[in-house]
Amino acid sequence: GENVEQHPSTLSVQEGDSAVIKCTYSDSASNYFPWYKQELGKRPQLIIDIRSNVGEKKDQRIAVTLNKTAKHFSLHITETQPEDSAVYFCAASGSTDSWGKLQFGAGTQVVVTP
Amino acid sequence: NAGVTQTPKFRVLKTGQSMTLLCAQDMNHEYMYWYRQDPGMGLRLIHYSVGEGTTAKGEVPDGYNVSRLKKQNFLLGLESAAPSQTSVYFCASSYSSLAGINEQFFGPGTRLTVL
């Protein structure tokens, strides 16, 4: 099955700086890569996703890039703000018959200090 | 739309007790999932369902059972709770489309402690 590794496990950044989180996946048939943000005590919520036919996607201060050849994808947050502090999870879909299942990375704790 | 809801929000059990967690969604999604979340381990899939009356095992199914008698509901049962099942449990739902796999929508979670 699909295996997703996520790095780093913790990330501290100064407010206004950029944050980058990287994930690698093992199943070359994976075609959907979402990123979720989970604030303390809350549910995970989708912040951005990308499909395998696209190399990059942006939404205001966040962007995701995908390198299918190397089987890795990254989340970029620019101009970080204190409200960006949370745990971020990447995920990959696995093969096309996966019935919507996602394999999640272990998560990255992002702390934005003023 | 309430989205995905879970009951209860919190529960404390003694070892050996049983309980059922209820997940409900009002988005008419075909797919539903149960995860457990433990520190440093992300979200691990327990069981999932691809439609009413169907269930399948995920990554960590031992000690759990599920049922999906109605499309909108997905129940997770613990027959004989163990301390290792202390965790936060999330339910999620999703749907299929021409684009393929889509976003999973999560419920608010159930915090379970087994003493």
pLDDT one-digit tens code per residue, B25-71: 999 999 999 999 998 888 999 999 999 999 999 999 999 999 999 99
Average pLDDT estimate for B76-91:
97
Give the strand pairing for B87-94 and B73-78: unpaired
Tell me the chain B residues in contact with residue A106 when contact means C-beta distances shorter than 8 Å: 40-42
Task: Compute the half-sphere exposure of residue A68: CA atoms within 13 Å on the CB side of its CA.
Answer: 13
Token look-up 């990059």 returns A56
Q: CA-nearest residue of chain B to A47?
A: B103
Judged by CB atoms closer than 8 Å, whether chains meet at B109 and A43 is answered as: yes
Chain A neighbors of B43, CB-CB under 8 A: 44, 89, 104
Report pLDDT digits (tens) over A94-113.
775 667 899 999 999 999 99
Q: What is the pLDDT of residue A39?
A: 97
Distance (Å, rounded) from C-alpha A11 to C-alpha B98?
A: 37
Cα nearest neighbour of B88 on chain A: A41
Q: Does B107 touch chain A (CB under 8 A)?
A: yes
